[in-house]
Amino acid sequence: MRYHFLHVLALAGALLCGPSLAADAAKGPPPIADFFSNPEFTDALLSPSGKYLAVRVSNKNSKRDMLGVVDLSTNAIKVVGNFKDADIGTYQWVNDERLVFTATDRDLAEGDLRYAPGLYAINRDGTKFRQLAMRDGQPFISDAGAMGARELLPWHTYLLPQHGTQDTEYIYVEDRIFSANGEYLYSNLVKLNTLNGRITGGVKRPGDSYFWLLDNQGEPRLTLTSDKGGTNSLYYRDPANDEWRKLTDFERYTNQGAFGPLSFGPDGTFYVISGNPGKDTTAVFTYNIATATLAGKPLVALDGYDFRGDMIVRNNKLLGVNHLTDAWGTTWLDPAMKAMQEKIDKMLPHTVNLLTLPERPQTPWVMVTAFADIWPKRTLLYNTETGKLTLVGASRASIDPNQMARKDLVHYKARDGLRIPAWLTLPKGGGKNGPLVVLVHGGPWVRGGEWDWDAQTQFLASRGYAVLEPEFRGSTGYGGRLYHAGWKQWGLKMQDDITDGTRWAIAQGYADPQRICIAGASYGGYATLMGLIKEPALYKCGVEWVGVSDINLMYNGSWFYSSDLTDDYKRYGMPVLIGDPQKDAEQLKATSPLLRASEVKQPLLMAYGGADTRVPLPHGTKFYKAVKETNPNVEWIEYEDEGHGWRVPQNRIDFWSRVEKFLDKNIGHGP
């Protein structure tokens, strides 16, 4: 199929302008589907030369995502990959002529989803199609020629999240090995010819490898192994003899003594992430492999944040660094790229604008990803010769930024003096002494938020609710002190941080103390239940989905429901991070929502997935049975085929429509 690019992709036009100062008062709140349907556009990839653009194209008849390639010299687009029964999953350029891609299904719940994405390759003009790996254990699903099952790689073949040099027909892929009960053990790295489907050699492992890092020449240079006794090791592969050498080892779940591999520079420089001496945060250092030493000073350090990002290398030159502070941004080392960034930022003054260059640019095209707290992601092309921007696609074109709410990073002090970051979103046109939803992130050992457009937060704000999202102790990304302060503090100081944030919002005049609801998923669900128990006068209601209801249940599970929490994590990780079932038995009892269910008197909305292996269904059913004995105001939702969250758009829309009604009844217009 061929289309003209400009018929599919419109000029940016008015989207390049800033949002108007006043929203259209006649408009009602955006429909729920605008927030929780699948995004209309997800991503695009420039070819290594920049001459072509790979994009997802929607098939209006089958409603399936297809893979299209745009010739940027003519604006012609050709569909090169599509399935009758699946969507295009991940995809990469092998070289300027060839792509690889996988299959997925965006409309299947986790219980219906088979974790065998298959692997396929095709030229950008639609020729030389080849299936490379089985999908769903089947040898073959298309009509693109006969081949025996023995010629295909097994179903557990996966693309690496990093690409090679993109100048040959070869790629490296992972052959992931699982135990009989489905536990991931290790992966083999093999070199694959995408034209004939043949393996040309594997990479010898120094142990049970679970992570691989390629160097700037596209060759495997580092691996992380999982060892006995709860430790991991980092190995370097010497290019002189292909032998592995251990650089360091560290505790698997606490990362004590660790530095993390980041990337290799064009000259072989090894960049790592490590603690910054005298600082609470991590930074980027160079690492001397010959002497096994870190540089004395960091190359990149972010004030108040642990480093998260990547080095930008093109044409064998280090051009800059992508990094996350409150929002994603780029520090350019190259003067020409710095000037280009400044020019584009003037054209798009209301958004963060991330620039992506081809691997070996031969054209004037640069890809721009633009977003803001009120603006979902858009992908544009910038022409360095004409200075013009062209819109490729918008993730949620129906969202009007004039109707969205601003999101700010704030800080407050916990009762013990610890400084807690939090994200505060105030509804447009309001925000003083109104209803508040305290939204608690899952994990909990993750960073909860960043400055961007978030569907859940913006949906709640569009319905008139202020939203507070605390980065309570145990959260990552803001330094070691905040993270380590959360160890063994489920239901204790971690919970106090959330309470203290809620009281801060009241003191600042953002929240009506009589109209506050606590909500969250996974660990956030646990914190919701504990919040209702510990602060019955503060929270008028709770919404929790896929939430942990008992820590001991995480250890013991249920004979009928499987869990993806490994025995290794239960032995080496959970006792240190959460609590030891023997040594901390009394603490785990006192912080068990299940054992204290009778204390929950407020209205509660609960939702769980029947196929959840992270927090299996008994966490929900046991608590629901216990709380219903003393609380009649409990609503129960079960999505039979969903897992740890809602994959199916209809389920997301259904769930949030129920949340909307529940909140309105308890702290919204209803009261």
Q: Report pLDDT digits (tens) over 22-60.
A: 445 457 899 999 999 999 898 899 999 999 999 998 876
Q: How confident is the model at residue 115 (pLDDT cuts 50, 70, 90)?
A: low
Q: How confident is the model at residue 652 (pLDDT cuts 50, 70, 90)?
A: very high
Query: Alpha-carbon distance 447 to 421, whole Å?
Result: 10
pLDDT at 671 over 70: no
Q: How confident is the model at residue 8 (pLDDT cuts 50, 70, 90)?
A: very low
Query: Alpha-carbon distance 45 to 59, whole Å?
Result: 19
pLDDT at 286 over 70: yes
Indicate the DSSP class of residue 64: -
* Helix, coil or strand: residue 523: helix
Q: Of the given ranges (79-83, 128-132, 404-408), which has the lowest mean pLDDT?
A: 79-83
Residue 220 CA, distance from chain mean position: 25
For the chain, the straight-line distance linking the first and the last C-alpha, in angstroms and rounded, comes to 56
From 316, 320, 349, select the one nearest 336 (Cα to Cα): 320
DSSP state letters, 123-192: ETTS-S-EEEEEETTBS--SSS----GGGSBPTTEEE-SS---SSSSEEEEEEEEE-TTS-EEEEEEEEE
DSSP state letters, 553-589: HHHH-BTTB-----HHIIIIIHHHHT--TTTTHHHHH
Q: How far is the CA of 483 from the CAs of 480, 502, 613, 646, in angstroms?
A: 5, 20, 26, 28
The reported pLDDT for the residue numbered 113 is 64
The reported pLDDT for the residue numbered 551 is 96
Q: How confident is the model at residue 316 (pLDDT cuts 50, 70, 90)?
A: confident
Neighbour count for residue 78 (Cβ, 10 Å): 17
Q: How confident is the model at residue 327 (pLDDT cuts 50, 70, 90)?
A: very high
Neighbour count for residue 214 (Cβ, 10 Å): 19
Kindly calculate the radius of gyration of the chain based on its CA atoms and give it in whole angstroms. Answer: 26
| Residue 56 and residue 70 in contact, taking contact as beta carbons nearer than 8 Å | no
Q: Who has greater pLDDT, 257 or 440?
A: 440
The reported pLDDT for the residue numbered 585 is 97
Q: Which are the contacts of 626, defined by CB distance < 8 A and separation ≥ 6?
A: 594, 597, 598
Tokens of 523: 């660990």
From 372, 558, 371, 574, select the one nearest 380 (Cα to Cα): 371
Q: Of all helices (H) and strands (E), which one includes residue 411?
A: strand 407-413
| Residue 510 and residue 431 in contact, taking contact as beta carbons nearer than 8 Å | yes
| Residue 478 and residue 306 in contact, taking contact as beta carbons nearer than 8 Å | yes
Percentage of the chain exceeding pLDDT 70: 92
Q: How far is the CA of 113 from the CAs of 178, 333, 648, 654, in angstroms?
A: 17, 44, 11, 20
Q: Of the given ranges (43-52, 141-150, 278-287), which has the lowest mean pLDDT?
A: 141-150
Average confidence score pLDDT of the chain = 91
| Residue 479 and residue 304 in contact, taking contact as beta carbons nearer than 8 Å | yes
* Helix, coil or strand: residue 319: strand
From 581, 566, 570, 636, select the one nearest 603 (Cα to Cα): 636
Percentage of the chain exceeding pLDDT 90: 81
| Residue 173 and residue 90 in contact, taking contact as beta carbons nearer than 8 Å | no
pLDDT at 278 over 70: yes
pLDDT tens string 371-415: 999 999 999 999 999 999 999 999 999 999 999 999 999 999 999
Q: How confident is the model at residue 185 (pLDDT cuts 50, 70, 90)?
A: very high
pLDDT tens string 474-526: 999 999 999 999 999 999 999 999 999 999 999 999 999 999 999 999 999 99
The reported pLDDT for the residue numbered 84 is 87
Class for domain 405-666, per CATH? alpha beta
The reported pLDDT for the residue numbered 18 is 46
CATH code 3.40.50.1820 region(s) in the chain? 405-666
Residue 278 exposed, middle or buried by CB count within 10 Å (0-12, 13-18, 19+) = exposed
DSSP state letters, 321-372: EEEESSSEEEEE-SHHHHHHHHHHHHHSTTSEEEEE--SS--SSEEEEEEEE
Residue 498 CA, distance from chain mean position: 23
Q: Of all helices (H) and strands (E), which one includes residue 81?
A: strand 76-81
The reported pLDDT for the residue numbered 26 is 59
Question: Residue 636: what residue type?
Answer: W
Q: Who has greater pLDDT, 9 or 560?
A: 560
From 434, 601, 607, 587, select the one nearest 532 (Cα to Cα): 601
* Helix, coil or strand: residue 245: strand
Q: Who has greater pLDDT, 564 or 542?
A: 542
pLDDT tens string 612-647: 999 999 999 999 999 999 999 999 999 999 999 999
Query: Which spans in 409-492 are helix H?
Result: 455-462, 480-484
- Cα diameter, the chain: 73
Strand partners, 123: 98
pLDDT tens string 296-314: 999 999 999 999 999 999 8
Q: What is the chain's length?
A: 671
- Residue that the structure tokens 């709770």 belong to: 542
Q: Of the given ranges (107-116, 236-245, 351-360, 611-620), which has the lowest mean pLDDT?
A: 107-116
The reported pLDDT for the residue numbered 15 is 39
Q: Which are the contacts of 397, defined by CB distance < 8 A and separation ≥ 6?
A: 40, 41
Q: Who has greater pLDDT, 562 or 189?
A: 189
Long-range contacts of 254-263 (CB under 8 A, 24+ apart): 254/573, 254/576, 254/577, 258/232, 259/285, 259/287, 259/294, 261/213, 261/222, 261/224, 261/234, 262/310, 262/311, 263/213, 263/310, 263/311, 263/313
| Residue 638 and residue 655 in contact, taking contact as beta carbons nearer than 8 Å | no
The reported pLDDT for the residue numbered 595 is 98
Neighbour count for residue 507 (Cβ, 10 Å): 11
pLDDT at 471 over 60: yes
Query: Alpha-carbon distance 403 to 445, whole Å?
Result: 33
Q: Who has greater pLDDT, 71 or 20?
A: 71
pLDDT at 5 over 70: no
Q: How confident is the model at residue 114 (pLDDT cuts 50, 70, 90)?
A: low
